[in-house]
Structure 1
Amino acid sequence: MSLPPLFRPGAALPILWENDRCAIINKPSGLPVHPGPRTTDTVESRFLPQKRGGPWLVHRLDADTAGCLLIARRKTALTQLQEAFAGRQVRKVYWAIVQGRPVQAEGLIDNFLHKESLGQGKGWKMADVPASGMTGTDKGSGALPARTRWKLVAHNPEKDISLLELELLTGRTHQARVHCATLGTPILGDPVYGTVPHPGLSHVPMQLLARQLQVKGPESEKPLEAVAPPEADMARLIATMAPA
């Protein structure tokens, strides 16, 4: 049975997995998920409206993050899948190319994140606070626990870049980006949490990929699962690395 199209003609995005209730698409970097004051081309604006409503985004990715994004075709699936995210019945694995090399080969980051103003008209960013350093002010700022399990996969000593695999055990705003910076290895191309990279890499966009998404299906015990391939820039950089 053929499924109705998710996207408007001429605006399709790659589908990694789908059934009649939901789909996992491969979102390209640079494409926002929601419309905004300065953005008209988004994942949502590309949806082809259905007679019974939808499609709907189950979760979101930053505009500069590529990879697995879950879409609900039905309202019942949307509710059930969002409950799975809230109940942490979802496995989210990211790949990040970072500047430098972590001191250790693997580890667990367990701290708190809260939104921090950069000043009037300058926007905001997320700031991390160690659990041992939490104060009353931090708790009042809405700081939430954030946990990421990570491991070093590969490294290029000449360019001083590494490939990290990150499993996000919570789902906080900018969690992967902040936690890579916490390790002292910010994500290459990150305009907020990054630093000046190797001279030959200053043109590279942010190198963060939602590599794998696994979630319990709305009507089946068999998990929904998809793996997104790295985009061209990331694949090219990975090819220059040796296994760690």
Structure 2
Amino acid sequence: MVNAYPFFAYEANSDVISLDYALFKENSGVVDSGNGLRYFSLFDDQIDAAFAAMSALKFNDIEMVVLETGWPSKGDRTEIGASVANAATYNDNLIRRILTRGGGTPLRPKVDLTVYLFAMFNEDDKNGPTLERNYGLFYPNEEKVYDIPFTVEGMKTYKDKRAPATGGGHVTAPPISGGGLSKSTTRSTWCMASGEAWEEKLRGRRRRLPSDPAGGSVL
């Protein structure tokens, strides 16, 4: 199991890592000096680094699952790159890459990756810096943080109305409703609780999606 977060690599090295490279956008690519392969996304670069480490330990037959990956939609002023536009671009392009190209990477072109998005909901009560509370696709009241397609069919009709991706780190716009739990009875969003989960644990984590260990959405 691997947690892949291109955001943190970009945030710490934004002077040398292209935002386009981190967001799966068109770029000239980066050649790995170790294996000679050209990479066009930081995500693939990170996944192949994990594959290379597994190979060095002779664990080539173990299946890899990306348990968490995502991009924060809001951050403190020092958290470079955390914005709604960048989060939407990253997750949109990741979904397109997995659904249309499969899980293959330059090092393992035939691998079938299972990838989980982190996370379904923002976690308003979580401790730590602002970005830690803002990885969700939805606010706790079920309003969308941004709109992206999740199926191949949806990609055909989707119209991108987002602002251009930006390297800026601070976003001041709050949720429209200010948060809170939804009282809606519509079926536009949903969660599925694991039958093996403790009832007390589910109540304590009602703002996360408990259908996978990371609170994310499977691709």
With normalisation by structure 2, the TM-score equals 0.25
Q: Whose helix proportion is higher, 1 or 2?
A: 2
- Which of the pair has more CA radius of gyration? 1
Q: Whose strand proportion is higher, 1 or 2?
A: 1
